[in-house]
Structure 1
Amino acid sequence: MKITDITLDHLRLELDPPFHAAWDPVPRRHFDATIVRVHTDEGVTGIGSGDTMDGFDAFRHLFIGQDPLHITRHVKAIETANFHGGHYWPLEAALWDIVGKVHGRPVSELFGNATKRLPAYASCGELKSPEERVATALKVREAGFGAMKIRIDRDRVSEGIAAVRAVREELGEDFDIMVDLNQSWRMAGDTTDATDLARTRKTLARLAELDVFWVEEPLPYADLDGFKRLRAENPGVRIAAGEMHHSTTELLRYLEEDALDVYQMDVVLAVGMHRARTLAEVARLKHRHFTPHSWTNGIGVLANLHVSAGVGGGPYFEFPFDPPGWTPERRDFMLAEPVRVDAEGCVRVPDAPGLGVELDEDAVERWRVG
């Protein structure tokens, strides 16, 4: 089998009303998605998505004519291309889709087959008042979720903590609450400094009183010693990070120095499926959690799900969901059916070979911009 072509569909869904992502100073008036298709001479096509694939045309020749099943070779080639260009991990997802289709099995089985489904937590994306956040939390619980993640803005910490407190009082102790401080990385052009360690320590102490399940990305990635200090000072609060950390060796350093409780590297945005599996296995061997970031479209959600289910990730799986601003229908506009949770709040691995992606070709054609 040989790769005959790699094609990209750039899609743009207009968002009206706009989505006010907590980590982005600019309201999002559209949602972009790039679909990668790897074509072969035997008629098997792999599908991936996640990052923008900007600049990939310069590196397409590295893969054309190669056997798509030579995953290790392709991972190394993608890493060399990433050094000179963008981040091309959606290509690896498409290649794994081919591997699964060739062998007639879901990719998660090839990654270890630890489970067929994972409990999901509703990952909220917008900043809301305590009253609005409680209203959303009730919808989340009604949809079957047993946990949710709340964003806190560094300039509105007291309001964010009030929202966490309101949800805890309304939904009780049996509902798990995660908190994301969004301090590890920045959107392009956002040059504001992260909250310093002293203030972050105070915030974590206040959140510990509310029995949060974890606090996510409380510090910049470079502050490894700060992460370790936060863990040591707050034994009752798990520390989570790593979603957009692109360095496998630095993530290994985090693991070696036991800096985190929860490792969150995204398989289509950060380090790829193959490398994420290695890091996840190490985390699991060290009795730490792997719960990948999956704030992307439905294809990226499925790629992260297959790796997490394969290695036995958990205790939850991130499910982007913050109605009415962010719904499965918006997130998965290119799919025939959105990825959803079941009645028990779990997200299930598709039974279909590969990643289980089924595109809505009419939607792809409608929203294509290049």
Structure 2
Amino acid sequence: MKIVAITLDRLRLDLDPPLLAAWDPEPRRHFDATIVRVHTDDGVTGIGSGDTMAGFEQVEHLFLGRNPLDIVRHVKAIETANFHGGRYWPLEAALWDIVGKVAGLPVATLFGNAARSLPAYASSAELKPPQARAEAALRAREAGFRATKIRIDRDRVAEGVAAVAAVREALGPDFAIMVDLNQSWRMAGDTAAATDLAKTRELVRRLSELDVFWVEEPLPYADIDGFRTLRAENPGVRIAAGEMHPSVPELLRYLEHDVLDVYQMDVVLAVGMHRARTLAELARLKHRAFTPHSWTNGIGVLANLHVAAGVGGGPYFEFPYDPPGWTPERRDFMLAEPLMINPAGELEVPTAPGLGVELDEEAVSRWRIRSRR
């Protein structure tokens, strides 16, 4: 079997009204998605998505004519290409989709088959006043979710803490609450400094008193000592990070020095499926959790789900969900059906071979802004 072509469809969904994501410097007026298709001479096509694949045309020749099943070789090739500016992990997802289809098995089965589904948490996007956030959490629980994640802006801490308190009061002690401070990395154009360690220590203490399950990305990735300080001072709350950390050696350093309680590497944005599986296994062996970031689109959600379910990640899986600003229909506009949790609040691994991606080709054509075939 050989790779005979790699095609990219670049899609753009207009967002009206725009999404006011907490981490974006400006309102998000469109949502972009790049679909990668790896075509083989046997007629099997793999599908992946996640990062932009910008500049991939310059390295495409590294993969053409190769056996798509040679995953380790391809991972190493992607890493060399990534060093020079891109993040081409959606290509690896498409290759795993081929592996699963050839084997006749879901990719999660190939990764260990530890779980057929994972409890999902409703991962919010927007900053909302306390009452509005509590009402959104109540609606999420009605939809089946057992947990939610709330964003706190570094310039609106008091409002953020009040929102957490309102959700805790409205939903009681049995509903899990995570908090994301979005301080480990920055979107392009966001040049503000992260909140200093002293203020972050105070904030995490206040969140611990509200029985927050974890506090995510509280500090820049480089502040390893700061992360360890937060963990030591707040034994009642977990510290989570790593979603966009692209350095496997640095993540190994985190594991060696026991920096985090929860590791969150996104398999289509950060280190890929194969490497994330290795790091996740190490985290699990050290009695630490792995539950990946999954804020891309439904294809990226599925890639992360297969790895997490394969290795027994959890205890919750991130499900981007914050109606009306962010819905499964917006997130998965390129899919035949948007992904949704089951009545038990869990996201099920598709039983189809590969990743289980079913594209809506009409939607792909409608929202395509550029194609390279």
Instruction: Settle same-fold status: TM greater than 0.5.
Output: yes
Supply the distance in 1 between the matched residues of 2:234 and 2:123 (Cα, whole angstroms). Answer: 23
Report the aligned-residue RMSD: 0.4
Matching residue's letter, 2:247: S
**Residue 238 (1) aligns with residue 244 (2):** no
Supply the distance in 2 between the matched residues of 1:354 and 1:265 (Cα, whole angstroms). Answer: 21
CA contact (8 A) 1:56 1:85 kept: no
TM-score, reference length from structure 1: 1.00
SS at match of 1:369: strand
What corresponds to 2:20 in structure 1? 20
What corresponds to 2:248 in structure 1? 248
Supply the distance in 1 between the matched residues of 2:188 and 2:156 (Cα, whole angstroms). Answer: 21
CA contact (8 A) 1:137 1:148 kept: yes
> Shift of the alpha carbon at 1:135?
1.2
SS at match of 1:24: coil
For residues 169-219 of structure 1, the C-alpha deviation after alignment (integer angstroms, 9 at most, x for no partner) is 000000000000000000011110000000000000110110000000000
SS at match of 1:308: helix
For residues 266-317 of structure 1, the C-alpha deviation after alignment (integer angstroms, 9 at most, x for no partner) is 0000000000000000000000000000011000000000000000000000
**Residue 183 (1) aligns with residue 183 (2):** yes
What corresponds to 2:347 in structure 1? 347
SS at match of 2:369: coil
SS at match of 1:121: strand
SS at match of 1:36: strand
TM-score, reference length from structure 2: 0.99
What corresponds to 1:327 in structure 2? 327
What corresponds to 1:77 in structure 2? 77
Supply the distance in 1 between the matched residues of 2:88 and 2:207 (Cα, whole angstroms). Answer: 37
Runs of at least 4 residues of structure 1 off by over 4 A?
none
SS at match of 1:73: helix
SS at match of 1:118: strand
> Shift of the alpha carbon at 1:114?
0.2
SS at match of 2:279: helix
> Shift of the alpha carbon at 1:254?
0.3
What corresponds to 1:194 in structure 2? 194
CA contact (8 A) 1:124 1:321 kept: yes
What corresponds to 1:11 in structure 2? 11
SS at match of 1:270: coil
Matching residue's letter, 1:16: D
What corresponds to 1:150 in structure 2? 150
What corresponds to 1:285 in structure 2? 285
Superposed, which structure 2 residues align to 1:167-178 within 5 Å? 167-178=167-178
SS at match of 2:174: coil
Matching residue's letter, 2:344: E
What corresponds to 2:67 in structure 1? 67
Supply the distance in 1 between the matched residues of 2:320 and 2:134 (Cα, whole angstroms). Answer: 17
CA contact (8 A) 2:291 2:315 kept: yes
Which stretches in structure 1 are left out of the alignment for 5+ residues? none
Matching residue's letter, 2:227: F
The alignment of Structure 1 onto Structure 2 pairs a total of residues equal to: 370
SS at match of 1:15: strand
Matching residue's letter, 2:204: L
For residues 236-284 of structure 1, the C-alpha deviation after alignment (integer angstroms, 9 at most, x for no partner) is 0100000000000000000000000000000000000000000000000
> Shift of the alpha carbon at 1:351?
0.4
What corresponds to 2:49 in structure 1? 49
SS at match of 2:362: helix
Matching residue's letter, 1:264: Q
What corresponds to 2:225 in structure 1? 225
CA contact (8 A) 2:212 2:237 kept: yes
> Shift of the alpha carbon at 1:85?
2.6
Supply the distance in 2 between the matched residues of 1:281 and 1:209 (Cα, whole angstroms). Answer: 31
> Shift of the alpha carbon at 1:84?
1.0
CA contact (8 A) 1:5 1:38 kept: yes
Supply the distance in 2 between the matched residues of 1:71 and 1:264 (Cα, whole angstroms). Answer: 22
Supply the distance in 1 between the matched residues of 2:216 and 2:204 (Cα, whole angstroms). Answer: 10
Supply the distance in 2 between the matched residues of 1:286 and 1:117 (Cα, whole angstroms). Answer: 23
Supply the distance in 2 between the matched residues of 1:138 and 1:233 (Cα, whole angstroms). Answer: 31
> Shift of the alpha carbon at 1:62?
0.2
